[in-house]
Amino acid sequence: MDLKPLFEPRSMAVFGVSLSNDRHPANEIFNKNLLRYPVRVYGVNPRGGTINGEQIHRSIAEVPEPVDLAVIAVRADLVPDVLTACIAAKVRSAVVISGGFGEVGRLDLQGRLAAVAKEASFPFIGPNCLGIYSPARVDTFFLPGERMVTPAVGNVSFVSQSGGILVDQMINFTNEGVGLAKAISIGNKALLGELEILEYLAQDPATQVIAFYIEGFGPKEGRQFVLRAGGCGKPVVVLKSGKSPGGSAAVSSHTASLAGDYASFSAVLAQYGIVEATSELELVSFCESLSAYARPIAGNVGIVTVSGGHGAIAVDACTARGIRVPEVPAEACETLRKSLSASVREIASLTNPVDLTGSGIDDDFVAAARFFFGRDEIDCVLALLLPYVPGITSDLGAKLSYAARQCGKPLIAYVPHVEKYAMLIEGFNLNGAPVSPSIEGAVLMVEALRRNRQ
């Protein structure tokens, strides 16, 4: 099946637009795409009429051009006939927003949809989903545009069985500065699921990191997913629910999925180098890190700080996750000492972590980072910045990340995320270095690089 019309449609038909209810889900989708996106949009309602001065067509056959994507938001029992009409009109793909299928026990109705589509090799996402958000191209989410929080364009694509989890993660991505390529809500996945979407995104030039929120799989799908994800050539991050008996029951009632044996699934993910997130914090941190650095590391970290306490917390967090903080030979540290400013040369603690003390300045940070970048036993540098230290300027983020780019090793930074320090954080972002607002989050970013084996 050709999935390009789903994600890059030039024309769209929205079924179910209401002539009397402007807040109907179909109306939200119709109006949003009409006013904000380049896709050509047509409304379909058997009654005809006009909305916002646009003609509403009585059937898909009346639409005056070939349609790439149908968005179906009608009553569940009407969906099979709409899908059949779309296939007859040579529509190329669909998103079925409508609920009332397998998630409420109507597996027969859901099966009819899948059978009709399979016979015609007609790709559709859903039912019971939000569909697709592709920045600057298309948005099938039935959420009012003014209430949506949309991340900047980036290279992470996120696939979720739950529309609510997907929207929450878009907010988290925005807050943490993680750029989005595509957001895909697959709902009950009657036809297209993780396997098919993974195959498409593995070939998508806009996507460099693929993230999944997974509730469950059909028979034998879990193994196929792991095998394909492990060999797709791009970092894959997975957040799995249904880990507990109660969670499994909630999954079944939500999208009619089988949660399966979580412990076995988790073990196989690790075996194939797929990065498993156990929380939303981990998911965002992992995506941010892997979007900046796709190359795996062994996990040997050099830490630079101006606070011994911050360094100790970072070492503890690294140790707890199996990330090594190697000792550095004393003679090498003495070489570093000579490159530091006079104000810190005699008081800095030059081991690993390197503690420059509160007297450290930009040049000291850069010298310590370059020292670690040049060490064979170090494959990643963790910079713990306290922007309120007097000798640090707002240019330090740019200076450190530029040095990292020159040296070709990953740099990850901790900086409190408040507006006052935005310019410093922006300096890291300009050179593609990820920044976390917590030490734990920064260590999680290192962990993602260590676990990734793509």
Structure tokens, 427: 């300096």
Inter-helix orientation angle 262-271/221-230, to 10°: 20
* pLDDT value at 11 more than 60: yes
338: buried, middle or exposed (CB in 10 Å: 19+, 13-18, 0-12)?
A: exposed
Helix axes 308-320, 439-451, angle to 10 degrees: 40
Residue-wise pLDDT for 330-345, tens only, equals 999 999 999 999 999 9
**Mean pLDDT across the stretch 301-314?**
97
User: Kind of pairing, strands 138-139 and 131-134?
Assistant: antiparallel
Residue 255: per-residue pLDDT: 45
Q: Contact 125/96 with Cβ under 8 angstroms?
A: yes
What pLDDT, on the 0 to 100 scale, is given for residue 253? 46
pLDDT bucket at 248, cuts 50 / 70 / 90: very low
Distance CA 23, CA 414 (A): 43
Instruction: Please tell me whether residue 380 adopts helix, strand or coil conformation.
Output: strand
The answer to whether residue 52 scores a pLDDT higher than 90 is: no
Category of 95 on φ-ψ map: left (φ > 0), alpha (ψ -120 to 50) or beta: beta
pLDDT at 264: 86
Amino acid, res. 58 = R
Q: Supply the angle between the helices 79-88 and 107-120 in degrees, to the nearest 10.
A: 0
> Of the given ranges (250-254, 352-356, 376-380), which has the lowest mean pLDDT?
250-254
112-128 per-position pLDDT tens digit: 999 999 999 999 999 99
83 pLDDT band (50/70/90 cuts)?
very high
pLDDT-based confidence at 257, cuts 50/70/90? very low
Do β-strands 354-355 and 301-305 pair in parallel, antiparallel, or remain unpaired? parallel
β-bridge pairing 349-350 and 354-355: antiparallel
- pLDDT at residue 259 is higher than 80: no
* Rounded distance between C-alpha atoms, residue 364 and residue 295, angstroms: 28
Question: 38 falls in which pLDDT band (50, 70, 90)?
Answer: very high
Confidence of residue 249 (pLDDT cuts 50, 70, 90): very low
pLDDT-above-90 percentage for the chain: 88
- In this structure, how many other beta carbons lie within 10 angstroms of the beta carbon of residue 174? 16
Structural domains in the chain, sorted by start: 1-127 (3.40.50.720), 149-292 (3.40.50.261), 295-451 (3.40.50.261)
Pick the closest to residue 398 from 374, 366, 430, 368 (CA basis): 430
Average pLDDT over residues 49-53: 90
Mean pLDDT of 75-80: 96
pLDDT, mean of residues 268-296: 94
User: What is the mean predicted confidence (pLDDT) over 232-248?
Assistant: 78
Q: For residue 385, what are the contacts with CB-CB under 8 A and spacing of at least 6?
A: 306, 365, 392, 396, 397, 413, 414, 415, 424
pLDDT at residue number 188: 95
| Whether the Cβ atoms of residue 225 and residue 169 lie closer than 8 Å to each other | no
pLDDT, one tens digit per residue, over 202-229 is: 999 999 999 999 998 888 899 999 999 9
Alpha helices in 272-305 (DSSP H): 280-292
Average pLDDT rounded to a whole number, residues 2-13? 97
| Phi and psi based region of residue 116 (left: phi greater than 0; alpha: psi -120 to 50; beta: remaining) | alpha
Using only the alpha carbons of the chain, give its radius of gyration. Answer: 25
Across residues 177-187, what is the average pLDDT?
A: 96
* The pLDDT of residue 250 is above 60: no
pTM of the model: 0.92
Strand partners, 158: 183, 211
Angle at 434 between CA 431 and CA 437, to 5 degrees: 135
| DSSP-derived secondary structure letter, 191 | S
pLDDT at position 437, please?
A: 94
Output the six-digit token pair for 418: 């408040």
Looking at residue 418, what is its pLDDT? Answer: 83
Inform me whether the pLDDT recorded for 320 exceeds 50.
yes
Residue 242 is predicted with a pLDDT of: 67
| Cα angle for residues 364, 347, 315 (degrees, 5° grid) | 70
Q: Please give the Cα distance from 199 to 194 (Å, whole number).
A: 8
At residue 247, the pLDDT reads 42
pLDDT digit string (tens) for 340-362? 999 999 999 999 999 999 999 99
Please provide the average confidence, as pLDDT, over all residues in the chain.
Answer: 93
pLDDT digits (tens, 9 = 90+) for 381-426: 999 999 999 999 999 999 999 999 999 999 999 999 888 899 999 9
258 pLDDT higher than 50: no
